[in-house]
Amino acid sequence: MAIDLSPKLAKRVYGGDGGAYYAWSPSELPMLREGNIGASKLALEKNGFALPRYSDSSKVAYVLQGQGVAGIVLPESEEKVIAIKKGDAIALPFGVVTWWYNKEDTELVVLFLGDTSKAHKAGEFTDFFLTGSNGVFTGFSTEFVSRAWDLEENVVKTLVGNQSANGIVKLQEGFKLPEAKKEHREGLALNCEEAPLDVDIKDGGRVVVLNTKNLPLVGEVGLGADLVRLDGSAMCSPGFSCDSALQVTYFVRGSGRVQVVGVDGKRVLETTVKGGNLFIVPRFYVVSKIADPDGLEWFSIITTPNPIFTHLAGRTSVWKALSPEVLQASFNVGSDVEKHFRSKRTSDAIFFPPPN
């Protein structure tokens, strides 16, 4: 039976006054389970505080909206506190403990995409909270915690029992959390909206690629990522990942059309997409996108830290590399048609502006 590739929206899992946590379910988006990929979003209201937690999956976090503060503790390291804002990408390897805070009026929204191949459930993240009603220490007896922390049992009961919320709380106005330090960002985060462009095509689109060169920590995460902004009515060249990687795409804003072609030249997906949609392209399938007049922006992770793509249009496409005789024989056409075909799309562009 064919797998449903239709884009899906995230659904609320838990939350309260401080914000909410949303996730995509493998039951609704089967490619999550097939590809061992997890996807979720954290949305914090003003003074919303996401309690410290660690996950069973390595991830890339991407700030979709707002600004705030994140605390990050890598294994056997000291806490690093960084300022985060829209466009920031943060690599989160296994074992990292994080907390997130929003002190601004604008909602802070963070997207998480990652690898669940070693997770408890394929296609889903499982977070382990250090505090709160479902914190790991609520499961230990008071005796065990008392001995571990070298504290009196009445103090342990206060520490473990006072935080009755689950996952996200709303702090009182004026509560002071640690201030972010600029030097802590080094090697942890990269702002994709301010980074040098890897591709910039006039009236076509722009790309920033996240890899081990500009954010070495993605090597530990085992994922690459990119931010793509497609101009109004422009097209992204048909292409595929040639190193067997999966591409997981979250549409940040705008709208457009997507086609995906799979085995035996069968079109397996033709749909419209909009901001908030998530979809996954299976290995080696060919995908192309055309933006609506308002443009289309997406953030993707690729299941390798240094992805390689093959494009099927433009000067760098495989068509330009093949000899004229091979094209004539393959298409069953004469040299005049082959020359006309080869004369088109002679730039290095992977984005094509709308026809005049």
Q: What is the pLDDT of residue 348?
A: 67
The pLDDT of residue 1 is above 70: no
Candidate ranges 12-16, 182-186, 241-245; pick with highest mean pLDDT: 12-16
Based on the fold, state whether residues 62 and 178 are members of the same structural domain.
Answer: yes
Q: Please check whether residues 214 and 177 belong to one and the same domain.
A: no
Query: For the domain that residue 70 is a member of, what is the CATH number?
Result: 2.60.120.10
Residue 267 lies in a domain: yes
Q: pLDDT tens digit string along 171-192?
A: 999 999 999 999 999 889 999 9
pLDDT in tens, 85-130: 999 999 999 899 999 999 999 999 999 999 999 999 999 999 999 9
Is residue 349 a part of any domain in this protein? no
Q: Is the pLDDT of residue 347 over 90?
A: no
Residues 14 and 116 in one domain: yes
pLDDT at 218 over 90: no
On average, the pLDDT of the chain sits at 93
User: Side chain identity at 95, as an amino acid letter?
Assistant: G
Q: Domain check: are 92 and 108 in the same one?
A: yes
**Domain span at residue 74?**
8-132+167-185
Could you tell me if residue 47 is inside a domain?
yes
Distance of CA 310 to the CA centre of its chain: 21
Residues 174 and 34 in one domain: yes
109 contacts 66 by C-beta, under 8 angstroms: yes
- pLDDT tens-digit readout, 195-208: 999 989 888 999 99
Is 77 a member of any domain? Answer: yes
Where residue 304 falls among pLDDT bands split at 50, 70, 90? confident
- Domain assignment present for 328: no
3-state secondary structure of 192: coil
Beta bridge partners of 110: 42, 63
For 241-262, give the DSSP string.
Answer: ETTS--EEEEEEEEEEEEEEE-
- Claim to verify: residue 273 and residue 180 sit in the same structural domain: no
Residue 350 has what pLDDT?
81
Cβ neighbours of residue 25 closer than 8 Å, sequence gap 6 or more: 11, 32, 123, 124
pLDDT > 70: percent of the chain: 99
Rounded distance between C-alpha atoms, residue 34 and residue 217, angstroms: 26
Give CA–CA dist 230/233, Å, rounded. 8
Q: Is residue 265 part of a domain?
A: yes
What Cα–Cα distance (Å) separates residue 72 from each residue in 90, 95, 99, 196, 227? 10, 11, 7, 25, 23
The answer to whether residues 288 and 245 belong to one domain is yes
Residues 97, 211, single domain; the answer is: no
Same domain, yes or no: 225 and 247: yes
Burial category of 317 from C-beta neighbours within 10 Å (exposed 0-12, middle 13-18, buried 19 and up)? middle
CB 115 within 8 A of CB 37: yes
Q: How far apart are CA 74 and CA 225, in angstroms?
A: 21
pLDDT digits (tens, 9 = 90+) for 55-94: 999 999 999 999 999 999 998 899 999 999 999 999 999 8
User: Where does residue 105 rank: exposed (0-12), middle (13-18), buried (19+ CB within 10 A)?
Assistant: exposed
Residue 261, Cβ neighbours under 10 Å: how many?
18
Per the structure block, which two tokens stand in for 12?
A: 């609320």
Q: Specify the pLDDT at position 187.
A: 87
pLDDT above 80 (res 137): yes
Same domain assignment for residues 174 and 215: no
Same-domain pairing of 13 and 72: yes
Specify whether 57 is located in the same domain as 175. yes
57: helix, strand or coil: coil
Place of tokens 């972010």: 180
Asked if 217 and 189 touch (Cβ cutoff 8 Å), the reply is no
Q: Is residue 137 part of a domain?
A: no
Task: Reduce the DSSP state of residue 145 to 3 states and report it.
Answer: helix
Q: Which residue has the higher pLDDT, 303 or 338?
A: 338
The answer, yes or no, to whether residue 307 has pLDDT greater than 80, is no
Domain annotation covers residue 1: no
pLDDT score of 281 more than 70: yes
Whether residue 162 is predicted with pLDDT greater than 70 in this model: the reply is: yes
Counting the structural domains of the chain, the total is 2
Contact by Cβ (8 Å): 45, 170: yes
